[in-house]
Amino acid sequence: MLSAAPGRTDPGHAQPDRPVVVAFLLQDFELGGISQWIYTVCAELHRTDPGRFAFHFICTHGWVIQERFARVGTPVFLGREGRAPNWLVWLRVQRYLQRLRPDIIQFSNLKPYRDLCYRVRPPVIIERKAAMRTVGRYDSRGVDAIISQNRQVMEALRDLPVPQFLVYHGVDLDGLASVVPNRAGFGPDDFIVGQVARLSPGKNQRMLIDVVARVRQRHPRVKLVLVGGATRQAGAVDLLPELREHARRLGVEAVFTGALNDPAPYIAGFNVGTCTTTRACGEGAPRLLIEPMAFGIPCVTTDAGATNEVIEDGVNGFLVPDDDVPGMADRIERLLLDEALYRRLSHRARETVERRFNIRTQARQVRDIFLSLLAQSTRPRSRRRMPEPISAH
């Protein structure tokens, strides 16, 4: 249920006289939690409320633009391919925003984004915070509202004099109904333990390899499917060769797909989903758990950040301590051997997504936040017509 600060009014349903221009500042267009949240929300609003919003996705780090963003808005890369952003990039973004004159700017995680918003001063500035590691990086000067991805972050920010809203990730359950499972070449009797995540030390995929190796000592039909790669940003380290070497003992029983634009078929082919993120890295109610659960696939996760807002231990999945290889292996083995337990957790996993992580509900919340904040803004909206597409060069 959407909750706002006292005194905020319902946005109503009157159609605006022109589209609400929303500019998102993001680091890349890949499968990270922030970009995926932005895309799924915008795609749902584009589907259910066509013409009300005009979305612009402004990327500064990752230079690969996914085609799907172009289907719901205007994506543009304003950074330097293969190199980190510098002052010229920030100037380029500032000029883009000044020409665009958006009604709303939403940004995440980076102080330069906050500073750009403060200089441009659109009617509404929204910050989105995910995991706890994003808390305390900078002050909230000039921000009109914060969208938090989980309750843990909201609790940490409760003393800030800024309206705050809780909006979890959302999954398109109807869209997933047509997904054809991809078992990565494994048979129907094999038991696939899988994960979809960027390959990074904080995600701790080495732990997952160790877990699968341990379970396979007693159950050879257990297989590993790991979907993900390094982010395509300057300075990113590709861990795939290192992880392949660590998994050499598994031989052909481990499949590494690399980065995929659409991992849904592989997720649908999992028997168990996993999250092995370290507590130091933390998670913010992560999609890598929510998406398997949407298919009715039980998950086993480390207790890292807000994973416990997705998984209730023993009810819709299992939580284990950070880096607990024997504990995770034990829970996977229980799901492998106990069909009744598997069915019970499968049902509750799907029910959890339907109740708490449905994109229909989440998109409506975001829509109401946008319109409510805009209606109450003291900074005027630009009356200029929508600009022509702006070149990044």
Write the class of the CATH domain 174-355: alpha beta
Q: Which of 109, 110, 67 is nearest to 89 (CA)?
A: 110
Alpha-carbon distance of 222 to 271, in angstroms, equals 10
Name the CATH topology of 20-170+359-376: Rossmann fold (3.40.50)
Alpha helices in 248-311 (DSSP H): 264-268, 287-294
H or E element in which residue 98 lies: helix 87-100
The counts of H helices and E strands in the chain are 13, 13
SS3 359: helix
**Among 142-146, 158-162, 322-326, which stretch is predicted with the lowest mean pLDDT?**
158-162
Output the DSSP codes for 361-390: HHHHHHHHHHHHHHHH-SSPPP-SPPPPPP
pLDDT value of residue 2: 33
Euclidean distance between CA atoms 310 and 356, whole angstroms: 9
Q: Are 104 and 370 in contact (CB under 8 A)?
A: yes
Closest CA to 240 of 253, 262, 259: 259
Q: Report if pTM > 0.85.
A: yes
Q: Where do the domains of the chain lie?
A: 20-170+359-376, 174-355
Contact criterion met (CB below 8 Å) for 145 and 126: yes
Partnered with residue 80 across adjacent β-strands are 83
Q: Which amino acid is at 118?
A: Y
**31-35, 185-189, 289-293, 294-298: least confident range:** 31-35
Q: Are 278 and 204 in contact (CB under 8 A)?
A: yes
pLDDT at 59 > cutoff 60: yes
Residue 3 confidence (pLDDT): 33
Residues 6 or more apart in contact with residue 290 via CB below 8 angstroms: 169, 171, 310, 353, 357
Distance from chain centroid for Cα 82? 23
Q: Does the pLDDT of residue 15 top 60, yes or no? A: no
Element (H, E) at 192: strand 191-196
Does residue 276 carry a pLDDT above 80? yes
Q: Do domains 20-170+359-376 and 174-355 have the same CATH topology?
A: yes
Q: Count CB neighbours of 355 within 10 A.
A: 9
If one counts every other C-beta atom within 10 angstroms of the C-beta of residue 242, the result is 14
pLDDT, tens digit, 9 for 90 and up, residues 351-378? 999 999 999 999 999 999 999 999 999 8
Q: Check: CB of residue 286 under 8 Å from CB of residue 262.
A: no
* 97 pLDDT above the threshold of 80: yes
Q: Which residue has the higher pLDDT, 138 or 314?
A: 314
Average pLDDT over residues 63-91: 92
pLDDT tier at 263, thresholds 50, 70, 90: very high
User: Residue 124 CA to chain centroid, in angstroms?
Assistant: 23
By the 8 A CB rule, do 288 and 200 touch? no
Contact between 210 and 325 (Cβ < 8 Å): yes
DSSP 64-76: ---HHHHTTSEEE
What are 272's two structure tokens?
């168990």
Find all residues with CB under 8 Å of 157, minimum gap 6, and list them: 129, 135, 146, 148, 164
List phi, psi (to 5°) of 227. Answer: -110, 125
CB atoms within 10 A of CB 385: 7
